[in-house]
A = this chain, B = another copy of it.
Amino acid sequence: MLRDPESQAHLQARIGPVAKLLDRIELVEGISHRQSPTRAELVDALTHRQMLAEVSRRLGALPAGDVAHLMETLRPDRRVIAWEQLSPEAAGKVLWELSPPISATLVEETPRDRLVTIARALDADGLAHVARWLPADVLGDVRAALEPRTRAWLAEQAAFPEDSAGRLMSHEFVVVESGETIRQVFKRLRRPPGLPDQTDTLYVVDERDRLVGAVRLQVMIRHPLRTRVEEIADRGIVTFRPDEEARTVALAFERYDLASAPVLDERGRLVGQLTFDELVHYSREQADRAALRRAGLRGDEDLLGSIWLGARQRWLWLGVNLATAFLASRVIGAFEGSIARLVALATLMPIVASIGGNTGNQTATLFIRGLALQQLNTSNLALVAAKELSIALLNGVMWGSVLGLVTLLLYGSVGLGAVMAAATALNLLVAAIVGMGVPVVMHKVGRDPALGSSVLLTFTTDSMGFFIFLGLATLVLLR
């Protein structure tokens, strides 16, 4: 019998009952630990134990990906109950799949002994993956029990900078010598561990351990068993250095539709393998974190986490935004005299600021994307910038005229209409310049252009919008 076809409904059918069970468990929790319990309490305690056993049984039947997904949707206290019912092997795999804030809190709540057991159940790649969550002493204990070669590899891997190919690479790959025949290779692959899960590629090395090429299983089965692998090795494969940025690696994997690729040191020796699934995870995690951080969230916000933590995580951003909003409002404060004489200015000024923010955001979005996809470069930057400025001018004149006309109709003042039109057009230009400048400068200084752009942008378009509009009005209408 095959599994049901994968869908959101079937996923819910698998994990929903466990979630319900965990819901009910909460009701009887706490009773089982009392002293001198009554008969009813004893029955409750028994039920409680039976329910926990049932949870454990059901979780054991689910793939790690399902358990991780379930845990992401549970409230923290029930997450811990589910987590405690997992076997060490399952717990290790689930820890690997969970999002960072949840992994971190679960590890905090786990006794040291169990952490050691969980970590020992992982292979070297799994250990490399969850290492950032584990306390140093737990990690030390687990590493000490590893064989020296694996330990050395782990230390080497951990030394590469975060977000590099070296950090994402796996040491599970199969190496064959260029002189070996297909028969010899097949004989070796029949013994465990065989080929790692996400690849069908073997790497061919020369006598000095330098990579010569790669050969795929499906190519090998097409040739006579006596063929030497060097004869059929593909030498045109894409390779990476361990210090390459993970972002560049992910783009290259997508550009060349790679399933896996070798990582080589400066002497051309194989030090690891990258596989598509690691890069998909990486890209997803990055995109996710970037989206949260753009909105001023810390990037590791747990949807179901504590209120206090959630509130505190937003303070910095709120504070920064308040400060910039306050600064922008001081521009208005400087023109209070003008507003007192012509109160319509107060009504109209937010429109100028708002349309500037919107167009600036459009330009910034295009530039952030162009930089992320490496499509914007020194040779076409001037051209693209000229285009954006032209668009801003065109739209500024057009929509400025519309707004000017509406203002004229509303307030019956040609002067006010003209000021509105001119201020709108000017602020659109300012917005385009800032919308291009901020991402490009952030990129040049090595920061993520997506972060911080919005604060700076809103601040500039707001305060410049107020300044241009109120300034023009004061000059033209109120002298």
Contacts and interface: CB of A to CB of B under 8 A. Distances in A.
Interface in A242-258: 244, 248-249, 252-257
Contacts of A194: 218, 222
Contact of A236 (B3, B217, B375): B3
Contacts of A280: 253-254, 276, 280
A361 interface: yes
Interface stretch (A52-60, A110-118, A310-318): A310-318
Given A8-B248, A276-B280, A343-B336, A329 B303 contact: no
Interface string A362-387: 10111001100111110110011001
A97 B255 CA distance: 8
Contact of A340 (B317, B340, B406, B458): B340
A257 B244 contact: no
A369 B240 contact: no
Closest 6 CB pairs of A and B: A65-B255, A200-B200, A346-B346, A295-B365, A325-B354, A257-B277
A43 interface: no
Interface string A306-349: 01101100110111011001101110110010011001111111
A357 B344 CA distance: 24
A222 B5 contact: no
Given A328-B350, A346-B332, A354-B462, A255 B317 contact: no
A32 interface: no
A333 to B, nearest CB: 5
B221 A375 contact: no
A391 B310 contact: yes
Nearest to A217: B217
Nearest to A277: B257
A227 interface: no
A82 to B, nearest CB: 14
A323 to B, nearest CB: 10
Interface string A270-309: 0000001100110110011001101111000101110110
B256 A63 contact: yes
13 contacts: A2-B212, A3-B239, A5-B244, A6-B238, A7-B241, A190-B222, A217-B221, A292-B365, A307-B391, A314-B359, A322-B402, A332-B347, A340-B343
A365 B291 contact: yes
Contacts of A23: 379
A251 to B, nearest CB: 9
A321 B354 contact: yes
A451 interface: no
A248 B7 contact: yes
Q: Is the interface of A mostly helix, strand, loop or mixed?
A: helix
Contacts of A362: 295-297, 314, 317
Nearest to A352: B325
A6 B244 contact: yes
Interface stretch (A33-41, A66-74, A119-127, A131-139): A66-74
A190 B200 CA distance: 16
B351 A343 contact: no
A384 B304 contact: yes
A387 B304 contact: yes
Contacts of A399: 318-319, 322
A24 interface: no
A277 B402 CA distance: 48
Interface string A200-236: 1000000000011100111001100000000000011
A165 B240 CA distance: 32
A369 to B, nearest CB: 6
A370 B3 CA distance: 27
A168 to B, nearest CB: 14
A31 interface: no
Given A332-B347, A353-B350, A5 B264 contact: yes
A387 B310 contact: yes
A259 B256 CA distance: 16
A336 B259 CA distance: 64
Most B-side CB within 10 Å, residue of A6, A221, A353:
A6
A314 B391 contact: yes
